[in-house]
Amino acid sequence: MVYLFVRPLGRIGGTKNFHAGVELRPNEMNESDTEERQRDGRVHLSMKVNGALRSLKVEPRMTLLDALREELGLTGPKKSCDRGECGACTVHIEGRRILSCMTLAVMHEGKQITTIEGLERDGRLHPLQQAFIEHDGFQCGFCTSGQIMSALAMIQEAKAGWPSAATADVTKPFATADLSEAEIRERMSGNLCRCSCYPNIVDAVVDATRRI
Amino acid sequence: MHPLTYSRAADPAAAIAAHAQDPHLAFIAGGTDLLGLMKDRAALPDRLMDINGLPDMARIEVLRDGGVRIGALARMSDVAADEEIRRRFPVITESLLFAASGQLRNMASMGGNIMQRTRCAYFRDEDDLPCNKRKPGSGCAARHGLNRLHAIFGWSDECVATHPSDVAVALSALDAKVVVRGRNGERSISFTEFHRLPGNTPNRDNVLDRGDLIVAIEVPDRIEGRASHYLKLRDRESYEFALVSAAVAVATNGLRIGSVRLAMGGVAHKPWRLTEAESALRGVSLDDVQALRTAIATSFVDARPLAHNTFKIELAQRVALRAVQIAGARA
């Protein structure tokens, strides 16, 4: 029996429930299950991350977020709630925004991943990064990489004509000109900011939408 | 998370056979619910089988009879962006757009959406509080605990949880079908029969067995589809599960309701179809608010509140009323 993995907070009743550890069942690794070469419990994996082919070896249970941070040293995507509730871990897979804490690294063999580290070009910030600085779109900065990655893909979704819950009539085509502040707030609602910089974040996104 | 092994399914028949004979194997598609359950130790599969590579399961297509077939691996965002569905079934589009966040909708599959497990905090808690859904026979902490978010219809002393899916409510109103491939071939399950009431086996959310794979959801052509609406009330304006929601689709003769389809979310262990109200609303004029209210109330005779959710009974009737009015205005 193995003991590991400490998670300090219980989810009901506040802070009273500290775990000493959780009992895990013995790992029933199946030798015949060699499709993914899991002999030592780890899987070889290659992904194109920020334009470069990267090879890594991960346990199948490792989230994409942990693989990016712990195996590839890309600490731009942040681990905050680790439950798909805050958006701080937002990255792009094949150009789409997703939450890297809610998917396993092994599921993305051969995929193109973009993190905040992949946005600058030749030392120049992406217009969206520049807009966040100019509009004071952050205080502590912990949610910022997720906000920016989310906003960038969100603008592409709007350009592709996707409606949102703020769209009055979903039966009509959505035009980029319809991307009001209310639309931006709704489309960005998956990214929480506990410093509550929302007004400035919206201003930054409005500004960047004109520049991108 | 606990240690596990991972494989990719290349062929549906082999995936179904593996799932049928291995009780510790789970299919994974988007993973947005399963990973949360695994992190909260509410699901502990030893083996994950990734079904994202299965062929022809992500398409959205119009059927010859005018219905729409949505592949089980289609992502919520793809279905929400689909122009055919937006035009013919805005209630489906809206129910998807009012759920989760842009990031999660890009990940979550349609099959996984309807397989989501309840958000009851006692079920999700890592501390193994009494929960018959999580551990049969352990009791229900919500029955006499904090149950403001829980059911008002169809609950039992063993479980008072609600189903969290929004699009399932719209699909129930439209009498969609879940197409399932299992050990004995393919079958269609009526949406209203797919999810279960808790009874004394709340650990089972739906009627699927081991070896069952959802391959598609089929929405029949419905004359009520075009004038339809999904209205969702939440504790915050966005990115939250429903307190109460209503899916309505209506066909009218002038101002009079010809036929109406009405289902509610956040009120029961499954999408709750308001069949009595659907009958009572037939022939009622959309500008007669009192008559609409009276008709809707026929479906609330058997509503039973818990200690903290009495408010839901009045709230649900008002939500149903407003949803009927909005859908009616689109007719």
Transcribe A140-182 into DSSP letters.
S-TTHHHHHHHHHHHHHHHHTT---TT-S-TTSPP-GGG--HH
CATH 3.30.43.10 domain range(s) in chain B: 5-53
Confidence of residue B127 (pLDDT cuts 50, 70, 90): confident
Size of interface A-B (CB pairs under 8 A): 148
CB contact under 8 A, A157 and B125: no
ipTM, interface predicted TM-score of the complex: 0.96
pLDDT at residue B128, as a whole number: 82
Which amino acid is located at B162 in the chain? T
CB contact under 8 A, A102 and B36: yes
pLDDT at residue A35, as a whole number: 47
Quick one: closest CA in A to B9, which residue? A35
Residues of chain A with pLDDT under 70: 1-40
Residues in chain B: 331
To the nearest whole angstrom, how far is the Cα of A86 from the nearest Cα of chain B?
10
- With an 8 Å Cβ cutoff, is B122 touching chain A? yes
| pLDDT tens-digit map of B57-108 | 999 999 999 999 999 999 999 999 999 999 999 999 999 999 999 999 999 9
Chain B contact probe: residue of A34, A104, A157 with most B CBs at under 10 A: A104
pLDDT at residue B236, as a whole number: 95
Helical spans, DSSP H, in chain B: 12-21, 34-39, 76-81, 83-88, 90-97, 102-107, 110-115, 121-124, 167-173, 191-194, 275-281, 289-297, 311-329
Distance CA B38, CA B51 (A): 18
CB contact under 8 A, A150 and B129: no
Chain A CB contacts of B25 below 8 Å: none
pLDDT at residue A212, as a whole number: 86
| pLDDT tens-digit map of A157-191 | 999 999 999 999 999 999 999 999 999 999 999 99
pLDDT at residue A38, as a whole number: 54
CB contact under 8 A, B103 and A99: yes
CB contact under 8 A, A12 and B97: no
The better pLDDT of the pair B201, A23 is held by B201
The better pLDDT of the pair B154, B1 is held by B154
SS (H, E, C) B18-49: HHHHCCCEEEECCCCCHHHHHHCCCCCCCEEE
- For chain B, the average pLDDT equals 97
CA A46 to chain centre: 19
CA distances from B200 to B159, B207, B272 (A): 8, 15, 19
Chain A CB contacts of B90 below 8 Å: 170-171
pLDDT at residue B26, as a whole number: 98
CB contact under 8 A, B238 and A189: yes
Quick one: closest CA in A to B46, which residue? A28
Tokens of B44: 């502990």
CATH 3.30.390.50 domain range(s) in chain B: 228-329
Q: Give the one of A41, A84, A153 whose C-beta lies nearest to B36's C-beta.
A: A84
CB contact under 8 A, B35 and A104: yes
CATH of domain B228-329: 3.30.390.50
Tokens of B140: 């229900």
Chain A CB contacts of B83 below 8 Å: 173
- With an 8 Å Cβ cutoff, is B222 touching chain A? no
Chain A contact probe: residue of B4, B28, B101, B117 with most A CBs at under 10 A: B101
CB contact under 8 A, A83 and B36: yes
CB contact under 8 A, B2 and A61: yes
- Please give the model's pTM, rounded to 2 decimal places: 0.93
Distance CA A179, CA A50 (A): 28
- With an 8 Å Cβ cutoff, is B93 touching chain A? yes
- With an 8 Å Cβ cutoff, is B121 touching chain A? yes
pLDDT at residue A22, as a whole number: 31
Q: Which residue from B105, B95, B113 is spatially nearest to B231, judged by alpha carbons?
A: B95
- With an 8 Å Cβ cutoff, is B275 touching chain A? no
CATH of domain A34-118: 3.10.20.30
Q: Give the one of B31, B52, B86 whose C-beta lies nearest to A170's C-beta.
A: B86
The yes/no answer on whether domain B5-53 falls in CATH 3.40.50.2300 is no
Distance CA A151, CA A162 (A): 14
Chain B CB contacts of A154 below 8 Å: 102
The fraction of chain B above a pLDDT of 90, given in percent, is 98
pLDDT at residue A40, as a whole number: 63
To the nearest whole angstrom, how far is the Cα of A153 from the nearest Cα of chain B?
9
Q: Cβ distance B238 to B51 under 8 Å?
A: no
Quick one: closest CA in B to A43, which residue? B6
pLDDT at residue A14, as a whole number: 34
| pLDDT tens-digit map of B156-171 | 999 999 999 999 999 9
Report the top-level CATH class of A127-211.
mainly alpha
Chain B CB contacts of A159 below 8 Å: none
Chain B CB contacts of A44 below 8 Å: none
Q: Which residue from A177, A153, A1, A9 is spatially nearest to A80, judged by alpha carbons?
A: A9
CB contact under 8 A, A24 and B2: yes
| pLDDT tens-digit map of B233-278 | 999 999 999 999 999 999 999 999 999 999 999 999 999 999 999 9
CB contact under 8 A, A12 and B129: yes
Q: Give the one of B1, B4, B35 whose C-beta lies nearest to A103's C-beta.
A: B35
CATH 3.10.20.30 domain range(s) in chain A: 34-118
Q: Which residue from B224, B228, B231 is spatially nearest to B266, judged by alpha carbons?
A: B231
The mean pLDDT of B169-174, rounded to a whole number, is: 98
pLDDT at residue B126, as a whole number: 85
pLDDT at residue A60, as a whole number: 97
Chain B CB contacts of A170 below 8 Å: 86, 90, 93-94, 97
